[in-house]
Amino acid sequence: MQDENAQKPLLETPLAGASLAGISSAGTVPTIHPLAEALSSGNRRALAKAITLVESRRADDADKAQELLNAILPFTGKSRRIGITGVPGVGKSTFIEAFGLMLIAEGKKVAVLAIDPSSERTGGSILGDKTRMMELSRSNHSFIRPSPAGQTLGGVARRTRETMLLCEAAGFDIVLVETVGVGQSETAVASMVDFFLVLALAGAGDELQGMKRGIMELADGIAINKAEESNRAAADRAAQHIRNGLHFATPKYDDWQVPVLLCSAVERNGLEEIWKTVMQFAEGNPARITQLRRSQAVRWMREAVNDGLQRLVEREPELRILKHLLEQRVFDEALAPSSAASQFLEALEDAWRKRVE
Ligand SMILES: Nc1nc2c(ncn2[C@@H]2O[C@H](COP(=O)(O)OP(=O)(O)O)[C@@H](O)[C@H]2O)c(=O)[nH]1
Ligand SMILES: [Mg+2]
């Protein structure tokens, strides 16, 4: 199919100078074309539109989304991706506002993606975040996208990864992903960023409140927030406490010792130090990021395959019913989970054989 858009000159954009062949060869839906182009010119409305497309649950949107992602893929990967987690109230949104503004003052473009597992239920926290990031959201060099959690964690994570790529194609140098320290969302976010920052609080001996063991092992850096002068001594103690605790955690990298820093998001103190740490992490060993991103890509693919397999099963009425019946029998304690699983897998294999033959 000839697409006349393919001949149109590009704007001065990150896409400029690159061939559009990749885009047009994927092009069965011509509307993707202008969207990819607008996106690459850093148009924030186009970015918002692209994200909506990627987040859509409609089957026909899924194809368009895939096409768009294929088109922009060569223009992704250049940002510094930072995940930020911590218990609700630790100050993530306030921190992101301050940190984002600091980066913008250094000439960067900053995108913020907030994953909030509770937002779909309460609807409240996202508004809270918006007001907390008021100054940042007014900047021309920022883009803030709160993502309500989908029904599955995998779904949330998948869309966030894709959204991150869209932001990169739109020219954002830094992508900050905020996640509430609840459930498995940290693991999901940690598996899509370069640097995973855990915010913590100094408290009366309960420094480890939000620091579930698993989180310590995901962290590339830890910062005790709300460490204002009046709270300094407690914050120092908390930092020491966490450093001690880290000795017992399995290190993520042999050549990276997880730093425990202090900051105050409200007073905007300690932020440069944190940024320096992120830079050190990324630049001290560039191969680390390359390796990390490659294994993240493989993990992403595996998750997509697993999701796809589940959807395939759901689409086969017989298998779907069998799965449901077996689940019911397991629930009724009439069948052991492992034998239900084997029965189901056998049925799956039979169905597969019949197809192939
Ligand atoms: N004293 C102090 N309060 C802070 C600091 N950072 C955030 N807060 C306050 O802590 C509360 C929760 O902050 P928020 O950013 O919404 O936390 P989140 O739930 O982790 O996103 C708000 O009332 C903030 O004003 C800080 O550095 N120092
Ligand atoms: Mg928040």
Q: Are 159 and 198 within one domain?
A: yes
Residue 59 burial class via C-beta count within 10 angstroms: exposed 0-12, middle 13-18, buried 19 and up: exposed
- What's the confidence (pLDDT) of residue 26? 44
CA of 84 to the centre of ligand 1 (A): 14
Q: Are 135 and 20 within one domain?
A: no
22: pLDDT strictly greater than 50:
no
Q: Are 63 and 181 within one domain?
A: no
Q: Work out the pLDDT band at 206, boundaries 50, 70, 90.
A: low
- Number of domains the chain is built from: 3
Q: Are 130 and 22 within one domain?
A: no
CATH (domain of 48): 1.20.5.170
290 lies in a domain?
Answer: no
Q: Are 43 and 110 within one domain?
A: no
The protein residue with its alpha carbon nearest to ligand 1, atom 26, reads 226
Quick check: 112 and 119 in contact, CB under 8 A?
A: no
Q: Calculate what percentage of the chain has a pLDDT beyond 90.
A: 52
158: pLDDT strictly greater than 80:
no
Across the range 7-35, mean pLDDT stands at 48
- Mean pLDDT, the chain, whole residue set: 83
Q: Find, among 175, 297, 191, the residue nearest to 252 by Cα.
A: 191
341 lies in a domain?
Answer: yes
| Token output for 105 | 């003052």
Lowest mean pLDDT among 47-61, 112-126, 167-181, 219-233: 112-126
CA distance 299 to 301: 5
The most confident of the ranges 65-79, 105-119, 244-258 is: 65-79
CA distance 169 to 53: 15
Q: Are 126 and 65 within one domain?
A: no
240 lies in a domain?
Answer: yes
Ligand 1 neighbourhood includes 85 CB (under 6 angstroms): no
Domain end, chosen from 261, 284, 307, is at 284
- What's the confidence (pLDDT) of residue 11? 37
- What's the confidence (pLDDT) of residue 9? 38
Domain end, chosen from 250, 284, 318, is at 284
Q: What is the pTM of this model?
A: 0.82
289 lies in a domain?
Answer: no
Please state, as a whole number, how many other Cβ atoms lie within 10 Å of the Cβ of residue 20: 19
Closest ligand to C-alpha of residue 112 is 2
Range of the domain at 132: 77-284
Q: Are 258 and 300 within one domain?
A: no
Hey, which of 266, 267, 269 would you mutate to test ligand 1's pocket, going by the most ligand atoms within 8 Å of its Cβ?
A: 266
Ligand 1 neighbourhood includes 191 CB (under 6 angstroms): no
Q: Are 210 and 249 within one domain?
A: yes
Q: Are 58 and 106 within one domain?
A: no
Q: pLDDT digit string (tens) for 281-323?
A: 999 998 999 999 999 999 989 988 988 888 888 888 999 999 9
Q: Are 131 and 280 within one domain?
A: yes
Q: Work out the pLDDT band at 123, boundaries 50, 70, 90.
A: very low
Q: Are 250 and 107 within one domain?
A: yes
Q: Work out the pLDDT band at 62, boundaries 50, 70, 90.
A: confident
Quick check: 201 and 210 in contact, CB under 8 A?
A: yes
Across the range 188-193, mean pLDDT stands at 88
30: pLDDT strictly greater than 70:
no
Domain end, chosen from 40, 55, 74, is at 74
CA atoms within 13 A on the CB side of 314: 6
